[in-house]
Structure 1
């Protein structure tokens, strides 16, 4: 519920008290140092989607009134993880907050200003008196009226001081990726960069850079980018189109993509839109959403606030529909549609790529945890989706720290069930029976080979597993830095250890996590016939990768050897020496006689540039250059009579 109070009493603002300050260059601020400015206190917590909406609402006002208005974010945490100062600093950077932030872990300032909800806004005039107290979102228009009134009043009184505010930008910490959100496996032949690598590639929402990045299976080699990297909204070619903090991705089935005219649906979160990426012409288009944030105060059981019947299209034209922070997307074979986690209104939507129809399929818009028929269920900021073998959709319901499930019948009717979680304020880190287990603000889910569910337990820095067969929760990995997504690694060959790919948002990277034996679906016959094992002798194995640059190209040796090998093994004990990354396409490996079989993982790269060569035989500076890469997973069987040489071919691609 939104509450607005403009007080006419002369109430002196309370001092700003907390653990420390961010975005001030190390300085401690107090109200005396801000005297003469209009001060806007924004009480927020970084888990809260409504708080994130307010950050964006305030940006135009901060820019317009930069010489008189000082916004101070007062971070008052809900979850235990949010009280971690390192996590807070990462959130301030992630959401591009360009004003001072007070770290208030004990809620001292929160209580002094009688804040009761996230978000809450308090306006303090240049003389240090409270003039407005607002809760909820959607106050930008009111502030746009109030601020000029205060400017005029205090300029006339001589109490307004114009000039720069106290904000000091922090040093950036990211690299190629910046707070990545979700990842999508692109099988061989459907890579966005046009590569046909046998292992496929990974498409990542580079959320903090407002773009998509296609990575090779080493998670380091960038094969392509989509979006200019400049925050905003624009359709068109990939190098000029704009996104705004994109999150979820889904690859459409090939037959659906052929009819729709695009391949990938993107949850363009802060633009409140669904976008489409066409691989053929490398272009982005808007599929649904008018860019106006959908607001939902309360939702009757079968009708949303605009009067649309539950499960029917909200508008005839999907480009006129208002959406609210779509966070994840998944293809539903049973519904023959994209399912959308609409985090901003605590609901689940569907989108039909062929007709463009957008509908609400679960959640009445009330925030909380309530199971039952889809039209009566409550969600709280759903942020991760995955489809299981039965056609049901699993949901990471972040604000209730819950794992939920949409049970979809053959006739399309939907019911909502909870597997783990109790409510908005019940969270923790506990394994065991699902009834007693606790998560903390999960953002991602995936289905493991045995049908159990892996969960990106984001604020616990862990990957958890829910086993429906036993009704228990266990921990697969800990010590991660805000994992935001988990995906089963589809690049593994027969005999290789099954792995999860985890998007580690606050370390700006993707990492591998092993899948335990009990979560693997064992089918020895299929595994043995899928890929024959190469017999190799234990001891020294001479590896050579052959590469010849295509006609009209030359190896780019201007900065040294332009070739590289990266080698590892499963299990690691198989490779006694010769592993790691180094230049050259020749390597001597030493294989252990104590390991009967395993897999050699080999990545080869070579860089070549277009000719013609200049008079000195050198590549001209303006030449177009190309990176060639191939990934192999070679199953090997250790045999005294096996080969002592392994030769692979790396082919240049035009």
Structure 2
């Protein structure tokens, strides 16, 4: 999604310009001076199809005294997933002053189902209330145009501003901090924590938690499972008999022996003899597991999420962006890089990474490698000549001719 910074209404933006009722930060979020004149009250969060992570419907009127951050999202959107860590940081920093409310406005029909949203909430361990806005009533009331968009509301129930896209933590932190300070001085800030009933509390722990990918090797009678929400890899025989576990289960990026290594929601897997390659998705890393010595090492990525689209260089010095699946062809490891909507490649002999296919524009576009467009590629397969791509947000399967260097649907 293209990042855009907007004031919450064009009309109000004009009022601010004429009357001088707002200030603009360096990154562009319009902050209202907290006086009564010229403000617009935030619309209520109705009608809707129900609430999650709470035992009762919430209203802005009942949240008077709280700073409220509405997060408009849809769970199939990689950009929406990318900002979850920012939301968690804000929730932790302002735990007694801020209420984050996820407004799930679904892009696809299956995303409208409350049970599906519930599973995603548990998968990403969301700890804030979520309202199912399947009919886009709340979306329309706030004139939202893109996923993800955040709308900030002050403790008196008036909109402060909105921002879309990723990478806006500092901007939101500044706006929330100033709002908390102002309303605390007034004695109008509610600093009692909001009591919630989390969806995950209703379900006990299971042997596997949202396993993202599996890889079967008939020759060695092994099944490799990316046990994503347990932050580990599980190895079984093909009949399901457990043989090994890789990773402590705690989120992290530690290398080392199986019982010391850590992952963060791993996904894609590729096998080369006794070497297992892992897309460590939320660490933005590629890991290599030596199945003989039972050790894990990082071979690509810096551990930071990249904001760039076309980058190449030494594998450990180039940041990655949500690597989701892997496919090995010879000594080249292809990576479905869901974040920038591209396919990357890792030369295992040279230890170098580079963009392989995709312009970085989120689109359905065939053509030559770097002119073609993908939309959140999430799965890879090959017959040795063609790289097949599950292009998730475009709802299509793409074929990359590895010799001709072309992409077609």
For normalisation by structure 2, the TM-score amounts to 0.89
The CA deviation at 1:214 is: 1.1
Instruction: Answer whether contact 2:251 2:264 (CA < 8 A) is retained.
Output: yes
Tell me if 1:232 matches 2:226: no
The CA deviation at 1:395 is: 0.4
Measured in 2, the distance between the counterparts of 1:54 and 1:158 equals 31
Measured in 2, the distance between the counterparts of 1:235 and 1:153 equals 46
Q: What is the match of residue 90 of structure 2?
A: 61
Measured in 2, the distance between the counterparts of 1:285 and 1:34 equals 47
Q: What is the match of residue 39 of structure 2?
A: 10
2:396 to 383, 392, 402: 402
Q: What is the match of residue 392 of structure 1?
A: 386
Q: What is the match of residue 21 of structure 2?
A: none
Q: What is the match of residue 148 of structure 1?
A: 177
Measured in 1, the distance between the counterparts of 2:102 and 2:178 equals 23
Q: What is the match of residue 215 of structure 1?
A: 236
Q: Give the secondary-structure state (helix, strand or coil) at the position aligned to 1:72.
A: strand
Measured in 1, the distance between the counterparts of 2:176 and 2:303 equals 26
The CA deviation at 1:187 is: 4.4
Measured in 1, the distance between the counterparts of 2:350 and 2:197 equals 48
Larger Rg: 1
1:22 to 49, 52, 56: 52
Q: Give the secondary-structure state (helix, strand or coil) at the position aligned to 1:148.
A: helix
2:360 to 362, 365, 387: 365
Q: What is the match of residue 204 of structure 1?
A: 225
More strand by share: 1
Q: Give the secondary-structure state (helix, strand or coil) at the position aligned to 2:79.
A: helix
Calculate the aligned-residue CA RMSD, in Å: 1.5
Q: What is the match of residue 269 of structure 1?
A: 281
Q: What is the match of residue 215 of structure 2?
A: 184
Q: Which residues of 2 match residues 58-137 of structure 1 at below 5 A?
A: 58-137=87-166
Q: What is the match of residue 324 of structure 1?
A: 321
Measured in 2, the distance between the counterparts of 1:185 and 1:384 equals 16
Q: Give the secondary-structure state (helix, strand or coil) at the position aligned to 1:66.
A: coil
Deviation per CA, 1:499-531, whole angstroms, max 9, x where unpaired? xxxxxxxxxxxxxxxxxxxxxxxxxxxxxxxxx
1:48 to 64, 77, 84: 77
Instruction: Answer whether contact 1:7 1:130 (CA < 8 A) is retained.
Output: no
Q: Give the secondary-structure state (helix, strand or coil) at the position aligned to 2:134.
A: coil
Deviation per CA, 1:246-304, whole angstroms, max 9, x where unpaired? 1100012x4xx6xxxxx1111111111111111122222111111221124xx6xxxx3
- Segment drifting more, 41-50 vs 10-19: 10-19
Q: What is the match of residue 417 of structure 1?
A: 408
Q: Give the secondary-structure state (helix, strand or coil) at the position aligned to 1:59.
A: helix
Deviation per CA, 1:322-354, whole angstroms, max 9, x where unpaired? 111000000113xx3000000000000001222
Tell me if 1:382 matches 2:382: no
Deviation per CA, 1:428-456, whole angstroms, max 9, x where unpaired? xxxxxxxxxxxxxxxxxxxxxxxxxxxxx
The CA deviation at 1:81 is: 0.5
Structure 2 gap ranges (5+): 8-29, 33-37
Q: Give the secondary-structure state (helix, strand or coil) at the position aligned to 1:78.
A: coil
Measured in 2, the distance between the counterparts of 1:285 and 1:11 equals 54
Q: Give the secondary-structure state (helix, strand or coil) at the position aligned to 1:345.
A: coil
Measured in 2, the distance between the counterparts of 1:231 and 1:340 equals 22
* Aligned residue pairs, count: 377
Tell me if 1:246 matches 2:266: yes
Greater relative CO (CA pairs within 8 A, separation 6+): 2
1:338 to 333, 341, 348: 333
Measured in 1, the distance between the counterparts of 2:109 and 2:121 equals 17
Cα distance change of structure 1 residues 174 and 382 upon mapping to structure 2, 3 Å threshold: farther
The CA deviation at 1:388 is: 1.2
The CA deviation at 1:174 is: 5.4
Q: Give the secondary-structure state (helix, strand or coil) at the position aligned to 1:142.
A: helix
Measured in 1, the distance between the counterparts of 2:316 and 2:67 equals 38
Deviation per CA, 1:87-110, whole angstroms, max 9, x where unpaired? 111111111111100011101111
- Segment drifting more, 340-349 vs 158-167: 158-167
Structure 1 gap ranges (5+): 190-199, 258-262, 309-313, 419-654
Instruction: Answer whether contact 1:68 1:162 (CA < 8 A) is retained.
Output: yes
Measured in 2, the distance between the counterparts of 1:143 and 1:320 equals 29
Instruction: Answer whether contact 2:74 2:111 (CA < 8 A) is retained.
Output: yes
Measured in 1, the distance between the counterparts of 2:182 and 2:252 equals 35
Measured in 1, the distance between the counterparts of 2:62 and 2:237 equals 51
Q: Which residues of 2 match residues 379-528 of structure 1 at below 5 A?
A: 379-389=374-384, 391-409=385-403, 413-418=404-409
The CA deviation at 1:173 is: 5.4
Q: What is the match of residue 351 of structure 2?
A: 356
Cα distance change of structure 1 residues 358 and 341 upon mapping to structure 2, 3 Å threshold: same
